Amino acid sequence: MAKIGYSFGSGGKSRKRQNGGMRRIIIFIVLAAVAGGVVYFFRPSSKEASENQEFEQAAGVEQSTSQPVADSKDTPETAKAEPEKPAPKAEKEQKSAAPVPAVQVNVPEEIRDMFTKADQAFKRNDYVNARKLCENILNSGKLNTAAPLWEQTAQILSKSNIKILHSDIPFPEKKITYRVKPGDALSKIAKKYNTTVETLQKSNNMEPTNYNIWLGQTMKIYKGDWRIVVSKSKRILFLYDGNKLFKIYHIGIGKQNRTPLGNFDIVSKIKRPSWYSPSGKVYPYGSKENVLGTRWLALKPTGETDKSLRGYGIHGTWDPDSIGKAESNGCIRMKNGEVEELFSIVPYNTPVQIIK
DSSP of 88-143: PHHHHT--PPPPBPPB-----HHHHHHHHHHHHHHHTT-HHHHHHHHHHHHTSS-S
154 vs 57, residue with greater confidence: 154
90 vs 202, residue with greater confidence: 202
Q: What confidence tens digit (pLDDT) does each residue in 168-215 have?
A: 877 777 778 999 999 999 999 999 999 999 999 999 999 999 999 999
Q: What is the per-residue pLDDT for 272?
A: 96
The 3-state DSSP class for residue 12 equals: helix
Confidence of residue 221 (pLDDT cuts 50, 70, 90): very high
> Could you tell me what percent of the chain has a pLDDT over 90?
59
Residues facing residue 189 across a β-bridge: none
CA pair distance 83, 279, nearest whole angstrom = 10
Helices marked H in the chain — which ranges? 2-41, 46-56, 89-92, 109-123, 127-138, 148-166, 186-192, 197-203, 336-345
Q: Which domains does the chain have, with CATH numbers?
A: 89-95+226-355 (2.40.440.10), 182-221 (no CATH)
Confidence of residue 162 (pLDDT cuts 50, 70, 90): very high
CA pair distance 297, 315, nearest whole angstrom = 6
CA pair distance 197, 199, nearest whole angstrom = 5
Q: What is the per-residue pLDDT for 286?
A: 81
Q: What confidence tens digit (pLDDT) does each residue in 301-311 have?
A: 999 999 999 88
- What is the pTM assigned to this prediction? 0.72
Q: What is the per-residue pLDDT for 76?
A: 58
Diameter of the chain by CA atoms?
131
| Residues 231/355, Cβ–Cβ less than 8 Å | yes
φ/ψ of 270, rounded to 5, equals -130, 130
53 vs 335, residue with greater confidence: 335
Residue 258: which residues within 8 A CB-CB, separation 6 or more?
Answer: 68, 69, 71, 74, 76, 328, 329, 330
Confidence of residue 77 (pLDDT cuts 50, 70, 90): low
pLDDT for 248 beyond 90 = yes
CA pair distance 11, 210, nearest whole angstrom = 101
pLDDT for 245 beyond 50 = yes
pLDDT for 130 beyond 50 = yes
Least confident piece of the model among 50-54, 284-288, 312-316: 50-54
The 3-state DSSP class for residue 302 equals: coil
Least confident piece of the model among 17-21, 22-26, 131-135, 294-298: 17-21
Active site residues: 315, 331
Average pLDDT over the chain reads 79
Long-range contacts of 47-50 (CB under 8 A, 24+ apart): none
226 vs 21, residue with greater confidence: 226
Q: What is the per-residue pLDDT for 289?
A: 85
